[in-house]
Amino acid sequence: MIEYLIIILANLLVGGMIGLTGIAGFLLPMLYSGFMGMPAAQGMALSFFAFLISGVLGSWNYYKAKNLDARLGILISAGSLAGAAMGVWLNLMIDESVVKKILYLVVLVSGISILLRKDKERGREESLHLPAGVMVAFGFVTGAVCALSGAGGPILVMPLLVVMGVSVKTAVGVALFNSIFIAIPSCIGYSMQCEPETFITLLAVSMVSHGVGVWAGSRNAGILRPEPLKKGVAVFSICIAIFKLITG
């Protein structure tokens, strides 16, 4: 019962933060594998099913608000679908302890990037005019890294798109849409390594609670200031990642 309670509370909290800020999903695999002692594949499967829920709900909200560049999202996601399959394959070929180290390093870098990033919104711009092949390749690389490490998607894709000239809101919308296509092969690949007797119940509990969290967070996004929450997530992530890298 304690395990289920932790999963419910964690998904409500992380889902809420994703709804508010578009980030924080990378905390789930760290919780599952790093602190709850789950096998890496089960922790990844539960996390990516949650990312699938938040990606669908979040990208739909951004699409309705006209902050989702469909062309850009489709090109990146085409590459991410194949890249994520590669990432899952690499994860299952690498020793579990190494996978956890990779996750902690990605979380550490992600936390630092949140602290350093300046979310200065630009006006609504035209679609990013880069060659289609470049954007597909970009999606392949980021999809592979996210699926391998459990980082989700927005925490890596969103800041890179901003650096490339996409406005912050559009970058979040594209990253959430892209996370759906990172999650699909990741959900399939990792769930095949889990014991169905316990996994199915844990999955149902985590998906429902995560969906409620994302919905509640997105409904209240205009009430709370997301910037202090982002900084808090960043500091917490950096501290936890350093602790786990040192202690193993």
List pLDDT tens digits, range 47-56: 999 999 988 9
Q: Quick one: angle between helices 40-64 and 168-191, nearest 10?
A: 150
CA atoms within 13 A on the CB side of 114: 25
Q: Which range among 39-48, 96-105, 120-129, 138-147 shows the weakest confidence by mean pLDDT?
A: 120-129
Spatial contact of 181 and 189, defined as CB atoms under 8 Å apart:
no
Residue given tokens 């760290």 in the structure block: 30
Q: Determine the pLDDT at residue 124.
A: 45
List C-alpha distances in Å: 81 to 16, 28, 70, 172, 181.
Answer: 26, 21, 16, 18, 5
Query: 238 versus 219: which is more confidently predicted?
Result: 238
Please write the tens of the pLDDT for every residue from 21-30: 666 777 888 7
For the segment 198-209, the average pLDDT, to the nearest whole number, is: 91
**Among the ranges given (52-56, 182-186, 193-197), the one the predictor scored with the smallest mean pLDDT:** 193-197
pLDDT score, position 126 = 46
Written as one string, the DSSP assignment of 120-173 is -PPPP-PPP---HHHHHHHHHHHHHHHHHHT--SHHHHHHHHHHTT--HHHHHH
CA atoms within 13 A on the CB side of 206: 29
For residues 143-170, average pLDDT: 80
Question: Could you tell me the pTM of the whole model?
Answer: 0.81
CB 20 within 8 A of CB 221: yes
The pLDDT value given to residue 224: 57
pLDDT mean over 192-202:
88
Work out the pLDDT band at 192, boundaries 50, 70, 90: very high
Confidence of residue 230 (pLDDT cuts 50, 70, 90): low
pLDDT at 225 over 70: no
pLDDT beyond 80 at 73 = yes
